[in-house]
Structure 1
Amino acid sequence: MNTEPETVEFDILFIGAGPANLTAAIHLRRLLRHHNAMAPDPLEPSIAVIDKGRYPGAHLLSGAILDPRALREFMPDYLERGFPSGPAVSEEGIWYLTKNRKLRFPSIPEAFSNRGNTLCSLSRVGAWMAELAEKEGIDLFEGTAAVGTVVEDGRLIGVLTDDKGVDKNGTPGPAYEPGLVLKARATVIGEGAGGSLTAELDRIFNLHPPGAARNQETGMKECWRIPSGRISAGTVRHTFGYPLPSSRYGGGWIYALSDTELSVGFVTSVERHAPAADPHLNLQRFKEHPFVRSLLEGGTILEAGARTITSGGYDAMGRISGEGFLLVGESAGMLDMRRLKGIHLAMKSGMLAAETLFEALCQDDFSAGRLAGYEKQFRTSWAHDELALARSYRQAFDRGIYHGLLQTGISLKFPGAGLAAGKAESTTKTSDPALESRKEMAALEKAEQAHRPDGTLTFTKADAIYRSGTVHEENQPCHLRISSEDMAAICLDRCRREYGNPCTRFCPAGVYELTDGGGALRINASNCLHCKTCEAADPYGIITWTPPEGGGGPGYKIS
């Protein structure tokens, strides 16, 4: 049996088929076509996109409200070309919720307004863009996971893809196919939040400044079909408050994709210094609020999913290029937490990356200095200006929601004041985060005991997994790695004493389960939604999320 990986070479390789990389690949191909129409020596580079989802859009999840600014730059005739647009935002509001009541904000600050934006399904957008890319002659390989980097002489020269047909003990089976070494002159990383290759490049190339607060939040989403007459297409609702305590950042959304189709979701901060949270439970309790229940009762859930969101902001971005590679979209940290939007920034980063790669191809120069032109272009773009304005929005809430609202109000009234100037505060809430976690775990247990999913409005984690379309090859190595030493010394001893094993709560899919009366930790890897919450929230940093065999994971179609 041949176990040696074959090497395949490309000029440009894109990792991840999200809006950033698909925009980049299509824009690059168009730049080349325009160049070749006039140049005596045409350029014909090989361009490929790989994605671990089993079909285009399978792993793409967002609210989603799209700011069309970048899309109009990228493709002015996007509507004529069949872009899967939802309705324009027609009416919006922000509410503060208590357990049974709601208080509407009298007005929406301009910085938070969605006027001129449109609702959409990101998975549908990804599928549409993938079709455009293939029409442009770009090779797209779905079901192919990049599991490691190939670095030579201080330069990224390619990636390793996943082996197929390896059993749970790591033994090649009868259908075994070794992974490939995909080499490229330049590799563009667009994995979204919490990408495994991005983390590996960070360790190798020291991309982030020391102490950078690379925060992440977990977003839970459900799509519903409801009776007509309750809400109008294009209506947008954002909430904060219930069911979160004032010390934890997060909030809910309701987007009317049509008169009968809703996107309903909830964002919860789950971080290493504050890991005791249950994003799934928060969404279920959010739906029980009379404000939300009145919209959903009698309706049918269509799809569910989860994803982490990059929330560190501008000051936590770090370098977005290096020897042989570029980072785009959320892999580069480009998400505006103030507006809770990143699709337009991802597309813009893809356009800038494509223009940098085009120049590199024209000059036959892929040095780090040439690729650093991408960072220079970003710093003179509107994407940079938008992110810089929102640079410390998220950090303002580290002292609680009321402090955050006050600081946000001050920064909007007096631009450049306080945290808006980038003076991020410490993310440590107490001198003893473990003590705080144990208190929050006790409150979670109490909330769980009081909450009983009814199967019509509220659901279990198992229900959510089913409605996400998640599938994995059962007989494969566990892709959530904890060493046996850490399992015994930390998970079953130290973490139990200090934090109360928050992994059993913060995972939206119930992957981590205590068994044998708490004497063993079972990892139900086949449940994994690929949200990456565990790696971001693990207080000891001992969980390593690695891509499972390509094609595994959720199968989103309308999210």
Structure 2
Amino acid sequence: MEYDVVVVGGGPSGLAAAIRLKQLSAQTGQDLSVCLLEKGSEVGAHILSGAVIEPRALEELFPDWKERGAPLNTEAKKDQFLLLTETESVQLPTPPQMHNAGNYIVSLGNVCRWLAQQAEELGVEIYPGFAAAEVLYDEDGAVKGVATGDMGIGKDGEKTDAWQPGMELWAKQTVFAEGCRGSLTKTLFDRFELRRDCDVQTYGIGIKELWEVAPEQHEAGKIVHTVGWPLKNDTYGGTFLYHLENNQVVVGFVLGLDYQNPYLSPFEEFQRFKTHPAIRKTFEGGRRLSYGARALSEGGLQSLPKLTFPGGVLVGDTAGFLNMPKIKGTHTAMKSGMLAAESVFELLCCEGQEGKEAKAYQGKFEKSWLFDELHRARNIRPSFRWGLWGAMAYAALDTYLFRGKAPWTMRHKHSDHECLRPADEFSPISYPKPDGKLTFDRLSSVFISNVNHGEDQPPHLKLKNAAVPIEVNLARYAAPEQRYCPAGVYEIVGLDEAEPRLQINAQNCVHCKTCDIKDPTQNINWTTPEGGGGPNYPNM
């Protein structure tokens, strides 16, 4: 199937890019064909974010978004910023970056579903349930599209009765909008050396639950962020509580994946956080509705790769446009998609430019408010090398004195997997058992993420060397994959028989990509499963 543009990924950046392309086509009388592939069972099925959305980019894309019925229903009304100790909470002044006047608390999945409707009305062809599994190249080495994975391949690698071959989608330009740690984007980094002139990327894991709480505990539009307990001073992270409509509250936990202690479990720390006296009262008498997890790119401006290459561009979190001090990436992702679309459109309107590089994208980015916003925020995340107190002191200096224009840029020098230290340097962490009311185990959590993978398909979590999990990870790091995975995918079995082995429960995977990032030897490779597999998040 041939198109002018193929977009890989149905998140906010990919949808914004597709919409902007069709808007420009309509304005100029051009008739560009645009196709969007989404690996989830529907657009929004794999979307997970806080989320408080800054509507700046949306207003540029659709000035009449309110009249169109965009699902931005709960306006932010109240900000709180708390420092937690084990038993107490102290309210601190809310940092300027975290003021949310004019913003909206949303389900980003529902926003993406709405964007998909707008895209289809403009003529974008959207194919959910089809995972882009391979990048295609032309004879000159330029990207010429992607191929979707075969359907109906059994665990043994052989075709089953349900086999259907994958499709090749050829395009003059391909927009990669895969989200954090994109499996195809990783191959592009290597082939085109896109990360040669930037810092390493650093990541976080975000874990989220959606609750229905007692009416007396609900305050629509209220936003609470916390730092401190249960994390130690040297571990980057924080939490959020966002009060939606209909007595619903989302609670989330974000932890930097540059942590050192292999015994630390992000999932267990999140469950423990909810037991704090200042937090648990919100959820007592309520019920948990949904659960999910997702990695996010935290490196900021200095970790952005080269954005263009022959035949394609990178947009959204697959490149790393998140504004970490704001804890917001939707408006930045959408803006990157729009800038890329404008550059691709200009390229395709020039005769004989198929397979060429949309180099104007970089210049448009550097002249935009998106660049200015990320430039002002660039030093906040790396300042956490000094711990919580040092980072808060520096953030105040950077924000109030330099106003984001300090005459230096701090660097990210170490990949997250390099930061993990040997287990014999730490003591195991004893986490409390879940009570099934406020705190929960992994498997009951995965159940309400509506994860579904076909039982008879090859595992999409692949080991480069099958011996490494026992000979290296278990021996040196006490098998940290058992703890950093928020879905119970990785288990060490056979210890009692003195024959330990790694068991991979791939059917549990919520596609967070943490294993691909944090594995200390980079032995785990996350690849796309059969299209339509994975979580099916409602209202997340």
Bin of the TM-score, shorter chain as denominator length: over 0.9
1:40-59 mapped onto 2 (5 Å cutoff): 43-59=30-46
- Give the C-alpha shift of residue 399 in structure 1: 3.1
* One-letter identity of the residue aligned with 1:500: A
- Give the C-alpha shift of residue 397 in structure 1: 0.7
**Cα contact 1:149–1:156 (8 A) shared by 2:** yes
Mapped partners of 1:487, 1:458: distance in 2: 34
- Give the C-alpha shift of residue 375 in structure 1: 1.0
What is the aligned counterpart of 1:508 among 468, 486, 492?
486
Q: Which moved more, 1:307-316 or 1:210-219?
A: 210-219
Paired residue secondary structure (1:25): helix
* One-letter identity of the residue aligned with 1:34: Q
1:64-83 mapped onto 2 (5 Å cutoff): 64-83=51-70
1:460-499 mapped onto 2 (5 Å cutoff): 460-483=441-464, 486-488=465-467, 490-499=468-477
1:162-173 mapped onto 2 (5 Å cutoff): 162-173=149-160
Name stretches of at least 5 consecutive residues in structure 1 with no aligned partner.
Answer: 1-7, 37-42
1:516-535 mapped onto 2 (5 Å cutoff): 516-517=494-495, 519-535=500-516
Mapped partners of 2:326, 2:69: distance in 1: 26
Q: Which moved more, 1:210-219 or 1:367-376?
A: 367-376
- Give the C-alpha shift of residue 192 in structure 1: 0.7
Q: CA 1:210–1:380 in 2, change beyond 3 Å: closer, same or farther? A: closer
What is the aligned counterpart of 2:191 among 194, 197, 204?
204
Paired residue secondary structure (1:333): coil
**Cα contact 1:470–1:529 (8 A) shared by 2:** yes
Which residue number in structure 1 is paired with residue 133 of structure 2? Answer: 147
Mapped partners of 1:431, 1:192: distance in 2: 23
Q: CA 1:271–1:433 in 2, change beyond 3 Å: closer, same or farther? A: closer
1:54-453 mapped onto 2 (5 Å cutoff): 54-105=41-92, 107-152=93-138, 153-209=140-196, 212-258=199-245, 260-271=247-258, 276-366=263-353, 371-415=358-402, 421-424=408-411, 426-427=413-414, 433-435=420-422, 437-440=423-426, 442-444=427-429, 446-447=430-431, 451-453=432-434
- Give the C-alpha shift of residue 400 in structure 1: 1.7
- Give the C-alpha shift of residue 28 in structure 1: 1.2
Mapped partners of 1:502, 1:438: distance in 2: 13
Paired residue secondary structure (1:126): helix
Q: CA 1:544–1:80 in 2, change beyond 3 Å: closer, same or farther? A: same
Mapped partners of 1:258, 1:161: distance in 2: 38
Structure 2-normalised TM-score?
A: 0.95
Q: CA 1:210–1:491 in 2, change beyond 3 Å: closer, same or farther? A: farther
**Cα contact 1:398–1:429 (8 A) shared by 2:** no
- Give the C-alpha shift of residue 11 in structure 1: 1.0
Mapped partners of 1:431, 1:26: distance in 2: 39
* One-letter identity of the residue aligned with 1:282: E
**Cα contact 2:417–2:520 (8 A) shared by 1:** no
Structure 1-normalised TM-score?
A: 0.92
**Cα contact 1:407–1:418 (8 A) shared by 2:** no
- Give the C-alpha shift of residue 430 in structure 1: 13
Q: CA RMSD in A?
A: 2.0
* One-letter identity of the residue aligned with 2:441: T
- Give the C-alpha shift of residue 439 in structure 1: 4.2
Paired residue secondary structure (2:440): coil
The 4+ residue runs of structure 1 with deviation greater than 4 A are 272-276, 367-370, 416-420, 425-433, 437-440
- Give the C-alpha shift of residue 362 in structure 1: 1.8
Q: Any idea what the Cα deviations from partners look like across 1:283-318, whole Å, max 9, x if unmatched?
A: 111111111110000001111000001001100102
Mapped partners of 2:419, 2:254: distance in 1: 25
**Cα contact 2:258–2:417 (8 A) shared by 1:** no
Mapped partners of 2:532, 2:189: distance in 1: 26
**Cα contact 1:23–1:350 (8 A) shared by 2:** yes
Q: Percent identity?
A: 37
Which residue number in structure 2 is paired with residue 24 of structure 1? Answer: 17
- Give the C-alpha shift of residue 406 in structure 1: 1.8
- Give the C-alpha shift of residue 273 in structure 1: 5.9
Paired residue secondary structure (1:92): strand
Which residue number in structure 2 is paired with residue 543 of structure 1? Answer: 524
- Give the C-alpha shift of residue 45 in structure 1: 2.4
* One-letter identity of the residue aligned with 1:237: V
**Cα contact 2:311–2:356 (8 A) shared by 1:** no
Mapped partners of 2:394, 2:9: distance in 1: 36
Paired residue secondary structure (1:510): coil
Q: CA 1:121–1:365 in 2, change beyond 3 Å: closer, same or farther? A: farther
**Cα contact 1:411–1:420 (8 A) shared by 2:** no
Paired residue secondary structure (2:251): strand
Q: CA 1:55–1:46 in 2, change beyond 3 Å: closer, same or farther? A: same
- Give the C-alpha shift of residue 369 in structure 1: 6.4
- Give the C-alpha shift of residue 46 in structure 1: 1.8
The count of corresponding residues between Structure 1 and Structure 2 is 536
